A and B are shown apart, each in its own frame.
Chain A
Amino acid sequence: MIRTRSLAVVVIALMTFAAVRGQREPSAYALYQRGVALAKSGDYVGAADKLRAAVKANPNYYEAQLALGLALQNTQQYSDALNAFRAAIGLRPRLADPHLLLGGLLQQVGDADGALAEYTTSAKLNPGSAEAHSAIGFILAARNQLPDAIKSFETAVRLKPTLAQAHYYLGTARYFSDDPAGAITALKQASRLMPANGEAYYYLGLAQERKGDLPSAIASLRTAVKLSPEIVEMRQAMAQAYMADEELEAAAEQFRAVVRLKPDFAQGYNDLGLVLVELRDPDGAIAAFRKGLALAPADTVVKNNLGMALIQKSDFVAAAAQYREIIEIAPGDAVAHYNLGLALKQQDKFDDAVIALSRAAELQPDKLPEIHYTLGVVLLQQAKLDEAGSSFQKAVSIKNDYGEAIYTLGTVRQQQGKIDEALDLFRTALKILPDAPEIHNTLGTALRQKGDIDGARAELQEAARLNKLKTNRQAATFALNTGIANLKAGKIDDAIHQFQKAVELAPENSEAFYYLAKSLMRKGKKVESDTAYRKARQLNPRVRRL
């Protein structure tokens, strides 16, 4: 993508250069002048005819040979073009430019070794040629010799700081060398020098995302998509960045654009489906996965995802059927067995669920602790406390910070009357999940069972505090959303009331303060609005302007 454009730039520059330095012999010169004019107007066929006539009239006419080579290259007459360039080199062997052009042609026809040799000769003949160093870097980069490529690009940009492509190549090479900071510097320069080039912004965005600067990454990728709205990869990167920023609606919009641009792109539908699952739109997700499967019917990953969306929709029967299909295709797919077990569990088909989950556990005895955890839950529901305990233990042995499994194992021990063991497990789980009210509750109950009434009370109070926080957050969300609806309906006083309620319930909620500020502004209460906005900004420095 980038390579073609780079060569075109060089070609036009050199043709102009050749035109200026043209000879003065009347007939050959006139032919040459006409050929260059036709080439400039885009008529390379006509140009090649005139230039061929020019070199026929004067075989030692170096500029005409060179221009002929370029015209032939543009009409895909590569063999004749090679001859023309070589003839030009024969006429002026000490000039660097013909080697550079020949290298470009060889690169174009797939002779990377030949190209590298010509670029190297060109650089030797003219060590100050930034273009030659850049071209060498390009070949080296294509061969994954990134450190050497970077050196060449660095030389190129030192020699010619305005050479945008070299900055761009340097940036991408640094990005692929896991040097996002260096990549950002080069790509920023590249995007400044060629502000209409979406690719520079695209890689800049990728580098910024890798460096952890998500807001800048989103801004860069947004520019890239704006400049090159038809490039699927950019839309995908944009969508991924939005997902990382939890802007799921925006991510879905990009994924929708991806499949619109590339309707036969199965992976695109899968990505769209996944984000719709996150958005709790199982119907949309199911439709997307089904389209993906129509394109790739045997793709078990997409089938698994479809099953997941069906589970989200509570269509457990269809989900189970989906997983059974996967198992037909891939009997060793532990995840499919696991998900089948999950779908069966949801239908209260516990015996069948145990079979499926046990099979998953056999296939992945030492991985995927969720399998053992879920098996434990089903066994617990069947009153098989010992077996459930073993499964939870297995899950914990695979993942020793699996708080949920440790705590559930504690509840099993508690029900078995093994209170000391339960206490240890609850305390361990709390180290992993300190804000889980249910663990404080069960610990409190176990302490009470041991006669530690004060300890029990403290844990139960902590649980109550955490539960209250959770409830308040939910109430704040209701108030916030109701307020937004009021604001849209022009009921400003009602909106203010709801936003005030929201900030009272959840003083850490930046959105609530933002909307409170907005509604107060609409009410004309600027001072109060400013105070609320400052608070919103303090809680979230990225909060949008009023």
Chain B
Amino acid sequence: MRELALLSVLTIVALTTAAQYPVSMTNVAKQAGLNFVTIYGDEKKNRYLLETTGAGVAFIDYDNDGWQDLFFVNGTRLDALPKGLAPPTNRLFRNRGDGTFEDVTAKAGVTRTNWGQSVSIGDFNNDGHEDLFVTAFGKNALYKNNGDGTFADVAEKAGISENRSKWGAGSAFLDYDRDGDLDLFAASYIDLDLKTAPLPETGPCLYKGITVACGPPGLTGGVNMLWQNNGNGTFTDVSEKSGIRKTEGTYGLGVAVADYDNDGYVDIYVANDSAPAILYRNNRNSTFTDVALESGCAFSADGKPQAGMGVSAGDYDRDGWLDIFKTNFAGDTSTLYRNTGKAVFDDVTFSVGMGINTRWLGWGTSFADFDNDGWLDVFLVNGHVYPEVERLTTEAGYAQRKVLYQNLRNGRFADVSMQVGGAVIENSPARGAAFGDIDNDGDVDIIINNVNAPPELIRNDSRSGNNWLKIKLIGVKSNRNGIGARIVVTTHDGRQIDEVRSGSSYFSQNDLRVNFGVGKSTAVKSVEVRWPSGRTDTFTDVKVNQTFMIKEGTGEIKEPESTNRSK
């Protein structure tokens, strides 16, 4: 008996210890031509939180060539910029397909200097071209893709620009009423008036003995927004009538829209800073109810509100229910909420092995299968809110390393950051992060928008030899991007689910194509797509290691010629 018991212990240890993680991650931003600095507030001392939140980044295929282009949101400064420094602006980079990018910002007409926040992608007018929505402290922008490499800001005309004092935060396109066009949700952080907001010294606002920007506790929280697409290029503010404003939580930042209760209607999760998170359950009648408290995903396991930043949805345990991962403040852990079914969550952070990191202050994040073994890993980028922490010699620092958790396939995770090394353990003051396949090689790469620093493009070079299947959807009755479609992939070792999702992470937009790692499976038994329209398309014996493009009701279609262009 005694030997048997010992054997059991050894087995458990073996099962829960990370195997070699077969990926390497390299920052290739510089050689890719991403040579600019995102300007965001003062570099040394911030007067308001406005200077601290940073901005998002998006994967977008704006020219429909099959290669993911990049859009970076930019901020500005409260004081005049140093002489010789050009006004900071959003930036759009076209992916040349050879590992380099071309700055097409001016050509595309997306130059703008303001306090930009999040970016989300969706073809709001269903014309086949991906559009951009950018929130801001001040006026939002809705960049309609003209289909000729240029954009036009139609926010005013569309009725979603909002006023100057509104602080739009995380955002996402979603078809909440399943009418075939994309509506728009934007969280709001703080109702901030710079004329009356307390300064660090008047608050006084201290962090570990140093004065820092005040809030959000003590400041008036922002009010989240939901706009219904009228189908004619305009939107209607339905925040009040949809029930979006009735919520316990405020100070919204990251947003992850997903069907958490598997009822076919998209729900909305909002990571709130220093306040209970929100889970807007879609009532299937164009209204929402905040059910986060009773669903168990509003607080930490010990019932405390956390400083939520970024958020991701994914089925890490492959039980058919989408779970939630949320990044939080330093001194706290990130949080993993396991969906136990019907959108009832348990905080399993500690029991899965994610209680070990409390030094990092997390922002952008995603569930993603970096080694394509069929199990979702978790990546988060970090950086302190306050540049002043540099004076605290042993605080983790303003610039911080990233964290990569490997899914051990037994419900637990292992921190493999140090093992992978490379770009993962390089320090940077990160905020927005987006995940997608930048080089179309079948593994998930990462783009990071840093604060007052150049961006990072982390190329994932997987040595796993695992196979993959990337799925791109084209809606017909549903919205053109298939946003909100549920995809179920079945291989010899089980089922995986995911959705086409706008927004998520922190203020960012992942690749709208959905990447499934399928391990050693040489074919996918079936791919099932449940469209927002209610239609289901099913495909069997699908070849692996390809981008599988599916048109609603039509079946598989060939990729555009350009997608076959070699890098």
| Residue ranges of A at the interface with B (Cβ–Cβ < 8 Å) | 280-283, 312-318, 346-348, 350, 380-383, 385, 407-408, 411, 414-415, 437-442, 444-445, 448, 453, 456-457, 460, 463-464, 467, 471, 474-475, 477-478, 481-482, 484-485, 494, 497-498
Contacts and interface: CB of A to CB of B under 8 A. Distances in A.
A313 B392 CA distance: 7
B294 A471 contact: no
Given A478-B214, A494-B196, A453 B294 contact: yes
Interface stretch (B62-70, B299-307, B480-488): B299-307
Contacts of B395: 314
B350 interface: yes
A448 B303 CA distance: 14
Which of B303, B350, B355 lies at the interface centre, i.e. has the most chain A CB atoms within 10 A of its CB?
B303
A478 B298 CA distance: 26
Contacts of B358: 346, 348, 381
Contacts of B220: 475
Given A312-B209, A457-B294, 5 more contacts: A438-B304, A448-B296, A456-B294, A477-B203, A478-B203
B352 interface: yes
Interface string B241-260: 00000001000000000000
Contacts of B293: 441, 444, 460, 463-464
Contacts of A315: 392-394
11 contacts: A314-B392, A315-B394, A317-B394, A348-B357, A350-B356, A444-B293, A464-B248, A464-B276, A467-B248, A471-B275, A478-B214
B303 A463 contact: yes
B332 to A, nearest CB: 11
A449 to B, nearest CB: 8
Given A348-B356, A381-B355, A478-B219, A314 B208 contact: yes
Contacts of B199: 485
A482 B352 CA distance: 44
Contacts of B217: 471, 474-475
Which of A385, A408, A464, A471 lies at the interface centre, i.e. has the most chain B CB atoms within 10 A of its CB?
A471
A411 B302 contact: yes
Contacts of A381: 333, 350, 355-356, 358
A232 to B, nearest CB: 29
Which 4 interchain pairs have the tightest Cβ spacing?
A441-B303, A438-B303, A381-B355, A442-B303
A390 to B, nearest CB: 15
B352 to A, nearest CB: 7
A485 B296 contact: no
Given A464-B248, A481-B203, A494-B196, A383 B294 contact: no
Interface of B: 196, 198-199, 202-204, 206, 208-209, 214, 217-220, 248, 275-276, 293-294, 296, 298-299, 301-305, 333, 344, 346-348, 350-353, 355-359, 392-395, 412
Contacts of B392: 313-315
A491 to B, nearest CB: 11
A382 B202 contact: no
B394 A382 contact: no
Given A348-B356, A350-B356, A475-B220, A481 B202 contact: yes
Nearest to B333: A381
B355 A411 contact: no
Contacts of B198: 478, 481-482
A282 B302 contact: no
B359 A348 contact: yes
A415 B348 contact: yes
A438 B305 CA distance: 8
Which of B344, B348, B358 lies at the interface centre, i.e. has the most chain A CB atoms within 10 A of its CB?
B358
A453 B351 CA distance: 26
B305 to A, nearest CB: 7
Nearest to A461: B293
A485 B214 CA distance: 15
Contacts of B352: 383
Given A438-B304, A485-B202, A314 B394 contact: yes
Contact of B206 (A280, A283, A442, A463): A280
A263 B369 CA distance: 64
Given A314-B392, A381-B356, A440 B303 contact: yes
A318 B393 CA distance: 10
B204 A382 contact: no
Nearest to A285: B209
A407 B203 contact: no
A441 B276 CA distance: 10
Contacts of B303: 411, 437-442, 445, 463
Given A282-B209, A316-B394, A474-B218, A385 B350 contact: yes
A439 B202 CA distance: 33
B427 to A, nearest CB: 16
Contact of B296 (A346, A380, A445, A463): A445
Contacts of B346: 415
A280 B211 CA distance: 11
A443 B298 CA distance: 14
B359 A482 contact: no
Contacts of A316: 394
Given A414-B301, A440-B303, A477 B356 contact: no
A313 B207 CA distance: 9
A442 B196 contact: no
A439 B300 CA distance: 11
B208 to A, nearest CB: 5
A316 B392 CA distance: 10
Nearest to B358: A348
B350 A477 contact: no
A281 B351 contact: no
A498 B298 CA distance: 31
A448 B294 contact: yes
Contacts of B206: 280
Nearest to B304: A438
Contacts of A383: 350-353, 355, 412
Nearest to A318: B394
Nearest to A407: B302
Contacts of B208: 282, 312-314
A119 B286 CA distance: 99
Contacts of B302: 407-408, 411, 438, 442
A219 B305 CA distance: 43
Nearest to A448: B294
Nearest to A478: B218
A58 B217 CA distance: 91
Nearest to A310: B394
A382 B355 contact: yes
A281 B211 CA distance: 11
Contacts of A314: 208, 392, 394-395
A519 to B, nearest CB: 15
Contacts of A467: 248, 275-276, 305
B391 to A, nearest CB: 10
A348 B358 CA distance: 6
A406 to B, nearest CB: 12
A477 B206 CA distance: 13
A415 B305 contact: no
Contacts of B348: 415
Contacts of B412: 383
Contacts of B353: 383
Given A438-B303, A445-B296, A283 B355 contact: no
Nearest to B204: A481
A386 to B, nearest CB: 11
A448 B298 CA distance: 14
A378 to B, nearest CB: 9
Contacts of B351: 383, 385, 415
Contacts of B296: 445, 448
Nearest to A498: B196
Contacts of B294: 444, 448, 453, 456-457, 460
